[in-house]
Amino acid sequence: SQTIHQWPATLVQPVGSPLSLECTVEGTSNPNLYWYRQAAGRGLQLLFYSVGIGQISSEVPQNLSASRPQDRQFILSSKKLLLSDSGFYLCAWSAGGPEQYFGPGTRLTVT
Amino acid sequence: GIQVEQSPPDLILQEGANSTLRCNFSDSVNNLQWFHQNPWGQLINLFYIPSGTKQNGRLSATTVATERYSLLYISSSQTTDSGVYFCAGHQGNMLTFGGGTRLMVKP
């Protein structure tokens, strides 16, 4: 069966510091991968998605970037965090079809 | 893009009661999903339901794509049903979420 991991689970970072969040999927090959952000407990917003290694599509221009260095690894990064980057970050995967499955999330607080 | 609206935004139930959550979407969507977000933030897949009716235990869902709405039914609610329920509509690779219904089930 497929599983999706995210780490860290929680993170507190000062403004201006860099960020790296990691997502990995097990038990499937060539998944579509997605990064979402949820602010204030409602409304998930799609940030990035990837259909293959090195292929990244951005849905919202912002202070963040994404990379896919391996087939089942998706990384969310920032060079300098802003207060507005605080939120709950969720990674998801799909097997090429539309149904998406979500990881446990990373709760980021920028202070 | 599509828009997804959910109602009601908040719902309080006594344990054992039934409820219906509604999801309206503005344009034709290819597929629709329902999720439950538990108090720890985990999004749990409930239904993948582009059309028709599905049931899973005390939960069932109906999507009428031609009329652009979906309904989630919760019967005999339990305290563990508490959390936020999201519907989300697919259009291509995009999954657009509604604002959610926050459900609290009281013992």
Domain locations along chain A: 3-110
Contact A44, B86 (CB under 8 A): yes
- Name the closest residue on chain A to residue B1, using Cα atoms: A59
* Residue range B19-25: mean pLDDT, rounded: 97
* Residue range A36-49: mean pLDDT, rounded: 87
Question: Are the Cβ atoms of A102 and B94 closer than 8 angstroms?
Answer: no
| B45 near A CB under 8 A | yes
Summarize pLDDT for B57-105 with one digit per residue, the tens.
999 999 998 899 999 999 999 999 999 999 999 887 788 999 999 999 9
CA B83-B84-B89 angle, 5° bins = 150
* Calpha distance A31→A103 (Å, rounded): 14
SS3 state at A84: helix
Report residue A30: phi and psi, to 5°: 50, 50
Q: Across the interface, which of A43, A46, A88 has its CB nearest the CB of B94? A: A46
Question: Residues of chain B with pLDDT > 70: what percent?
Answer: 99
In chain B, residues with a C-beta closer than 8 Å to the C-beta of A45 are 97
Summarize pLDDT for A4-22 with one digit per residue, the tens.
999 999 999 999 999 999 9
Question: Are the Cβ atoms of B95 and A100 closer than 8 angstroms?
Answer: yes
Question: Are the Cβ atoms of B99 and A49 closer than 8 angstroms?
Answer: no
Q: Across the interface, which of B30, B45, B97 has its CB nearest the CB of A44? A: B97
CATH superfamily of A3-110: Immunoglobulins (2.60.40.10)
B16–chain A nearest CA distance, Å: 26
Check residue A53 and report its DSSP letter. Answer: T
The yes-or-no verdict on residue B16 having pLDDT over 90 is: yes
* Calpha distance A33→A48 (Å, rounded): 8
In chain A, residues with a C-beta closer than 8 Å to the C-beta of B45 are 99, 101-102
Residue B59, domain CATH: 2.60.40.10
* Residue range A66-85: mean pLDDT, rounded: 96
* Residue B60 lies in domain: 4-106
Burial of A84 (0-12, 13-18, 19+ CB in 10 A): exposed
In chain B, residues with a C-beta closer than 8 Å to the C-beta of A59 are 94
| Tokens matching residue B17 | 């009661």
Q: Per the structure, how many domains does chain B have?
A: 1
Give Cα A102 to chain centroid, integer Å.
10
- Name the closest residue on chain B to residue A97, using Cα atoms: B93
